[in-house]
Amino acid sequence: MNIEEEVQQLKEAIMDMAELTISQMKKAKEAYLANDSELAQEIIHNEKRVNAMELSIDRDCENIFALLNPVASDLRFVISALKINSDLERIGDYADGIADYVIDLTEKLDPSLVKETKIEKMFNIAISMLEDIAIALKEDNVKLARKVYQKDSELNKININASKTITKYINDNPKTVRQSLFMFSIIRKIERTGDHIKNIAEDLIFYVEAKVLRHKKMKK
């Protein structure tokens, strides 16, 4: 085994995981907004691939630790890869959870509620963050990684306003409680997706710059 080759293969595996996660979240958006249960089933089926890839990457990291004793930047990368792998898997879980809601949801979405909550915009921001972080990972681009912080702040603002909008909507339309609570849960999953992408950005910066940023506020 060669450390450079193993680290490169690990990086490629992380990139494959990121691409699959992006695909899952894009499909989750489409399935929810179009109430497409067949597409939702496809997401649920692909979740098995996400889980299998996570386990494979974990094993690769363990093998590198055990057999190659990485140091310096290689060590930082393998540590970061473990954490990034976990965050990507969680994002995959959120896409899978959204798909479950689509299958359970029998009512049509109220277009006015979709518009007022800005849930489609939330999906778009989260997907954009995922695409940015995938490129950042591929290129070791910390400047691009840092861009996700501003987008995450925007997600958080929309999340707060959407929660208020849904609460008012339920009060005005008591018969829509089930649909509204589903939407609330999905919005929460999108917001949490942003948090995990932010974690990935922090781990990339740690790997490239040897700086620990988690639990610290980023300068805008």
The CA-based angle 191-12-150, given to 5 degrees, is 30
pLDDT higher than 80, residue 215? no
pLDDT higher than 80, residue 194? yes
pLDDT at 142: 95
Please identify which residue in the block is written with the tokens 């861009």.
Answer: 147
Predicted TM-score of the model (pTM) = 0.92
Please identify which residue in the block is written with the tokens 């959120």.
Answer: 94
| Structural domain contains residue 214 | no
Predicted confidence band of residue 212 (pLDDT cuts 50, 70, 90): low
* CATH number reported for the structural domain that contains residue 200 in this entry: 1.20.58.220
| Spatial distance between the Cα atoms of 92 and 17, rounded to a whole number of angstroms | 9
Question: For residue range 6-23, what is the model confidence (pLDDT) as tens digits?
Answer: 999 999 999 999 999 999
Predicted confidence band of residue 35 (pLDDT cuts 50, 70, 90): very high
Segment 96-119 mean pLDDT: 94
Predicted confidence band of residue 108 (pLDDT cuts 50, 70, 90): confident
Q: Which of the 8 DSSP states describes residue 219?
A: P
| Structural domain contains residue 118 | yes
Task: For the chain, give the secondary structure using H, E and C.
Answer: CCHHHHHHHHHHHHHHHHHHHHHHHHHHHHHHHHCCHHHHHHHHHHHHHHHHHHHHHHHHHHHHHHHHCCCHHHHHHHHHHHHHHHHHHHHHHHHHHHHHHHHHCCCCCCHHHHHHHCHHHHHHHHHHHHHHHHHHHHHCCHHHHHHHHHHHHHHHHHHHHHHHHHHHHHHHCHHHHHHHHHHHHHHHHHHHHHHHHHHHHHHHHHHHHCCCCCCCCCCC
| Structural domain contains residue 59 | yes
pLDDT higher than 70, residue 207? yes
pLDDT at 187: 97
pLDDT at 156: 96
pLDDT at 168: 95
| Structural domain contains residue 218 | no
pLDDT at 107: 84
| Structural domain contains residue 217 | no
Q: What percent of the chain has pLDDT over 90?
A: 87
| Structural domain contains residue 130 | yes
Question: For residue range 109-138, what is the model confidence (pLDDT) as tens digits?
Answer: 899 999 999 999 999 999 999 999 999 999
Q: Quote the domain boundaries for residue 170.
A: 3-209
| Structural domain contains residue 76 | yes
Predicted confidence band of residue 210 (pLDDT cuts 50, 70, 90): confident
| Spatial distance between the Cα atoms of 99 and 7, rounded to a whole number of angstroms | 34
- Smallest CA-to-CA distance from 158 within 199, 101, 96, 114 is with 114
pLDDT higher than 90, residue 43? yes
Predicted confidence band of residue 33 (pLDDT cuts 50, 70, 90): very high
CA dihedral 102→106→107→110, nearest 10 degrees, is 10
Q: Which residues contact 211 (CB under 8 A, 6 or more apart)?
A: 205
| Spatial distance between the Cα atoms of 89 and 213, rounded to a whole number of angstroms | 21
Mean pLDDT of the chain: 93
Count of domains for the chain: 1
| Structural domain contains residue 215 | no
Residue 94, both tokens = 């959120």
